[in-house]
Amino acid sequence: MGEENTRLSEAIDTLSAQFSRYDWTYHDFPTADGRTEKIFYWFGPPEEEVMVCVLKQDTINEQFHRHGFFFINYAYRGSYDAVSYKFDNKITIRENECYIGQPFSGYALHCNHPDEQIIIGVLIQKPTFYRSFLPLISGDADLFRFFVDSRTNDFADEFIHLKLGEDNAVRRLLELMVIEYANKDEHTQNILKPMALSLLMYLAREYRAQTKRCDDSALPLSAQIENYMKSHLDAISLAEIAAHFGYHANYISSLLHKDTGRTFSQILLRLRMERATLLMQGTTLTLDEIATMLGYGDTSNFYKAFKGYYGVSPRKLAGETRGK
C-alpha cells in the first residue's frame, strides 16, 4: 500500500509540474451580439482525446473564460470556488465534489487558502465525447440535453455540481487515471478512454440520484410511459413497454391514445425526431450515427421518417444548422 501511495504522490507531482507548462493563453472569441469572450481551446497534443491535469496551488484567481472541450474537475484535496458568469453564481466545490462543464460553458476558478489545494481535471475532446460517450448516456433525458445543448446555445452557463462521499469510486478511478497519464506511453489513450467512459457512467448514475425531482410513480401512467420511452429510444416496442409496466399491450395502446391523442407509433416518432434534431444541432455526429442511436437499423428508414415528419430531408436540415 505504501508503494502505491508513493506512486500516486509522484504522479500528482508530475502532472502538477506539467500544468504550468501548458498553453493557458486566453483567446478572443466573438459573440453573436458583438462582444468578445475569452476562451481556452484544446491545449494538449491533437492526437490525445483525453487529458488528465492536476492543479496544485494555494491561490487561484482565473479570469472568466469559456472552454472548447468537455471537462470534469474534481476537488481531490481542499476546496475551491467556481464562478458562473450568467447568474454571477459563485459556488464552493468542496473535497470529493465534482464540477462538470460542457463546451463553451462559462467558468472561473478562485481559491485563496493557507493550505495547498489539489484539483484533478479530466478533459475530453468534443468529437470523442459525441461519438464514444454520448450514446451511452442518452437514456437520461436531462443529462443528455445538458451535454448536447452546449452547441445549440454557444454560450451556455450550465454546469453540474455533484457531491460524492469520502470513499467513492470516482476518486479511486481518478487516481488510476492520474498514474496512467503521468507515466504515459503509446497505449495510454487506449487505456484512458474506457476509464473516462467509466468515470462518466459513475457520474451519470450519481447525477440521476441527486437530481431526481419526483417519483415517477406519482405521475399519470401515460407520462411514466413517455418518460420510459425517452430513455429507450434505440430499442423500444409496445410489447416491451407492456411487459415493463405489467399491463396488456392493448391497454397501453388505448391509454396512450386516450391521454395524448396519439398512437404509440406517433409518440415514438415524435420523440425520435426531436432527439434527431437535437443531435444534428448539438453534435458533429453523422446522420448514419444518429440513425443508429435512435434505433433505425436501416438508415434509409430514418431518412424517410425524418422527411415525412419535417417535410425536409435530414441532410438538408443538417447542412443548414451546421453551416451556421
User: What are the pLDDT digits (tens) for 180-218?
Assistant: 999 999 999 999 999 999 998 888 888 878 876 555 667
Torsion angle of the four alpha carbons 133, 139, 141, 144, in this order, in degrees rounded to the nearest 10: 0
Task: Give the pTM.
Answer: 0.77
pLDDT of residue 133: 84
Query: By the 8 A CB rule, do 192 and 177 touch?
Result: yes
Q: What is the pLDDT of residues 1-20, one digit of tens each?
A: 577 789 999 999 999 999 98
Look at residues 55, 61, 47, 51 and name the one whose alpha carbon lies nearest to residue 12: 55
Query: By the 8 A CB rule, do 111 and 57 touch?
Result: yes
pLDDT at 310 over 80: yes
Q: What is the pLDDT of residues 125-142, one digit of tens each?
A: 988 888 888 877 776 666
- Count of CB atoms within 10 A of residue 81's CB? 14
